[in-house]
Amino acid sequence: MTMKVARYYGAGDIRIEEMPVPEPGPGEVVVRIRASGICGSDVMHWYREGRGPVVLGHEIGGEIAAAGEGVTANKTGDRVSASHHVPCNTCRYCRSGHHTVCDTLRSTNFYPGGFAEYVLLPKVNVDRGVYPLPDGMSFEQATFIEPLACVCRGQRIAGTRIGQSVLVIGSGISGLLHVQLAKALGASPVVASDINEFRLDAARKFGADKVIRAGDDLPAVFRDLNNGRPADIVILTAGAEGAIRQAFRSVDRGGTVLFFAPAGKGVSVPLPVNELFWRNEITLTSSYAANYEEHMVSMELIRQGRVNVRDMITHRLPLAETAKGFGLVERAGESLKVIITP
């Protein structure tokens, strides 16, 4: 039995091919993909350089099509989402709460990838990275569990809490999730910026108290909106050099800058040590991926409707149009979330 996959060969080169449907071994399951989200990282071609040909896609919702010997927690027909990367939970990094720098997490994946009709979840993923979907949660909503979990981890590390002022630089899908989560956590004001008017309108729609065009004097405009004070937390979901410089100038004394998105290839920004750090106690931190608990928190936020993901979907495309979907995400025009439905 064969299946169709969308295989990535490089920028602008995604081909629909056939390959055998994987068979589950002991402890493994095969998931039939019903929806798969295109992540911004899927179109970071400099990051993918030299890794193709490969089937990408890690934001999935589907149903278990087959379960291998010894699988007891999941059965055929179960509606699930799953983590492509999972930690060991026993190494020094996991024991200290840094699950996402675990060597196991960085070496695990499902096969061949979410832009396929079926994927195989290895035993370790089945053991610690399968999430049964609540009743009423659609497969499309399930594709947001992983990206929102990453946002939950980022804001936990940044320390978002009631009454703090938050500036989100970049209003793509990650930025909009950050806006919604910061609002749900009680931050105020929550301000979003971008260079794209479509995305600024989306930030308003999804709860930003104010929006700022990134071309404006962002730090000064933010202070005007926040009673003269800079931001307690600045969240970078854009990796441009100018955005990073704006973040440094927008954070208050004792505040935090969260590097959520990677910078472009080769981007390097001088660190203004005296102006930024000396006497000001600024924290620069980063986050990557998410652990099991953060996935569960994410799923509950979606289930309760505290984070509205349904209305973020702007495009639904069949597997045959995966290349078109990649183009929509890469151009970052009038699109937010693009979902592939094999």
How far is residue 88 CA from its own chain's centroid? Answer: 21
Pairing verdict, β 29-37 and 59-67: antiparallel
Q: What is the token pair recorded at 45?
A: 């071609």
In the predicted structure, residue 50 carries a pLDDT above the cut 80:
no
Query: Span 259-288, mean pLDDT?
Result: 89
Judge contact between 173 and 312, C-beta under 8 A.
yes
Neighbours of 250 (CB within 10 A): 24
pLDDT band at 97 (very low <50, low <70, confident <90, very high): very high
Least confident of 133-142, 211-220, 223-232: 211-220
Domain boundary assignment for the chain: 2-144+309-341, 151-286
Q: Domain spanning 2-144+309-341 has what CATH number? A: 3.90.180.10
pLDDT band at 268 (very low <50, low <70, confident <90, very high): confident
Cα angle 215-217-222, degrees, rounded to a multiple of 5: 115
289: left (phi over 0), alpha (psi -120 to 50) or beta: left
Q: What is the token pair recorded at 47?
A: 């990051």
Q: Which residues contact 72 (CB under 8 A, 6 or more apart)?
A: none
Q: What is the token pair recorded at 257?
A: 């800058």
Neighbours of 53 (CB within 10 A): 12
Please give the pLDDT value at position 2: 98
pLDDT band at 276 (very low <50, low <70, confident <90, very high): confident
d(CA 218, CA 222): 6
pLDDT digits (tens, 9 = 90+) for 128-182: 999 999 999 999 999 999 999 999 999 999 999 999 999 999 999 999 999 999 9
How confident is the prediction for the chain on average, in pLDDT? Answer: 96
Fold for 151-286, please state it.
Answer: Rossmann fold (3.40.50)
In the predicted structure, residue 255 carries a pLDDT above the cut 80:
yes
HSE at residue 260, side-chain half, CA atoms within 13 A, is: 36
